[in-house]
Structure 1
């Protein structure tokens, strides 16, 4: 029974890792759409979000079935419960990428990001998508040891977020205030995406070790 349970848990982890892969790809595409005002690409991100929702539902269904049929304890129980917790967080990451794509849709055909902030948002996109990639790798590798690394990256995201806010609230800001409002929301989506990735890594570390980092 133990071997069969481990196979089921490995498959469950695989679904969760696939979700993290999808969240990373969604963030890459959303950022590209944001920087290029590419409406068709933004629509792809919005459409793909439904698939991530379905993956979350499948993860939860499988996890609850394992809990009911196998009654795991200790590390096994932490592993199953971590999938339920993390699936919700990763789905939220996908939602946040979709929110960025939704901004592209609302602003189209006008661009959202002015030229002087393009590099900052490109970096936000690279760093946050990389965090989702790292989450996927942690899930596939057993979940331990990523919290400190992702927390450091989160600090980078926070600094970029602050940089955007400082720019758009400066007296010298030359653009329409509607653009400033849109950018305030968008940079917050990146910041929250990073927070969710850190939260996932923290729970994965706990599932693997029984100790909550922080």
Structure 2
């Protein structure tokens, strides 16, 4: 029974990792569509979003099956329950990438971004892809140390997001209200994408140790 549970749990984490991989790939292509005003790529992201939705349904079905068939207790139950939250986080990452693609499509053939902020979004896109890749890795390895390191890339994303607002608030901003709204929303999409990746890391820490990252720091374990 225990062997069957471990195998099914590993399979479920693999599905969750695949969701993160798809979300990262979607954000990479959405960023490309955004920076290059590439309608074909934006449409591709929008069409492919169904793959993440399907995996989300599949992951939830697997989690319910674990609860029903394996009757997990204590730490095993904690791990299974956490997977429902991870499904929601990974699904939301995919939805945020979708939002970026839809902005690029809505503004086509024009560029949604003023040229002066392209560098910010290129870097935010890179960080988002990196966070998604790390989230996938920690889901497969269940390594709390690697999971905690997701916070470092999130801090870098937060710094970029704050700097972006200094550009928007500059008196020399000359691109109008519509562009400012787009930049604000898009910046928020990238920031939230990173936040959900960090939440996945936090949930992996809890699955592996039964403690929150803050509790681990307080007791000096990490």
Q: TM-score range by the shorter chain?
A: over 0.9
TM-score with structure 1 setting the length: 0.96
TM norm structure 2: 0.93
Q: Report the equivalent of 1:146.
A: 146
Deviations 1:62-120 (A, max 9, x none): 10111011111122222211221101100000000000001001111110122211111
Alignment match, 1:160 = 160
Counterpart of 1:27?
27
Alpha-carbon distance, 1:177 to partner: 1.8
Q: For the residues of structure 2 that align with 1:106 and 1:165, how far apart are their CA atoms?
A: 23
Instruction: Identify which range, 71-80 or 21-30, moves more after superposition.
Output: 71-80
CA distance in 2, matches of 1:171, 1:118: 19
**Structure 2 residues not aligned, in runs of 5+:** 215-222
Structure 1: tracts of 5 or more residues without a match: none
Determine the structure 1 residue equivalent to 2:112.
Answer: 112
* Whole-angstrom distance in 1 between the partners of 2:20 and 2:89: 10
Aligned length: 214
- Deviation, 1:146, is 3.1
CA distance in 2, matches of 1:23, 1:143: 21
- What is the CA–CA distance in structure 1 between the aligned matches of 2:61 and 2:174, rounded to whole Å? 51
Give the Cα–Cα distance (whole angstroms) in 1 for the partners of residues 148 and 81 of structure 2: 22
1:122 aligns with 2:126: no
Residue in 1 that maps onto 2:218: none
**Would the aligned equivalents of 2:56 and 2:87 in 1 still touch at CA under 8 Å?**
yes
